[in-house]
Amino acid sequence: VECWFDPKVLASYLMSTKSFIHPLNRREVTREECHALEQHMERVGLKPMPLRESWDHKDDKEEEQSSSLAEVQRQAQEIMNTLYGGQSASSRGRPRPLRGDRMRAA
């Protein structure tokens, strides 16, 4: 069974979780697959994330990671929070907009 993901969301998931596990079947994502995702992102006009670098350092303790890699991982976490209901750092403390009544079918 093939499954397709939005490349930016998948890259953000891998970077923010620092866990290179396929989100559906839970198998390990290889370094080669990370490289393929980086190349795909470039082909479709997205800014590629340093997935291979992150994969190479996936077992490092947080304090051993480079500051640039830590910054990219922080940005990836922000994307995931925005997409899946978490609050971004810039929106904390601001009131959430009220939701209008749901539309009902006639």
Q: pTM to 2 decimals? A: 0.57
* Overall number of domains in the chain: 1
Domain that holds residue 64: 7-83
Q: Quick check: is 39 in a domain?
A: yes
Q: What is the DSSP letter of 60?
A: S
Which of 10-14, 18-22, 31-35, 97-101 shows the lowest per-residue confidence on average (mean pLDDT)?
97-101
State how far Cα 11 lies from the chain centre: 5
pLDDT per residue as tens digits for the range 22-75: 888 889 999 999 999 999 999 999 988 899 988 988 887 665 556 666 676 777
Helices (H), the chain: 7-17, 31-43, 51-56, 67-83
> Which residues, at least 6 apart from 24, have a Cβ–Cβ distance to it below 8 Å?
3
In a domain, 67, yes or no: yes
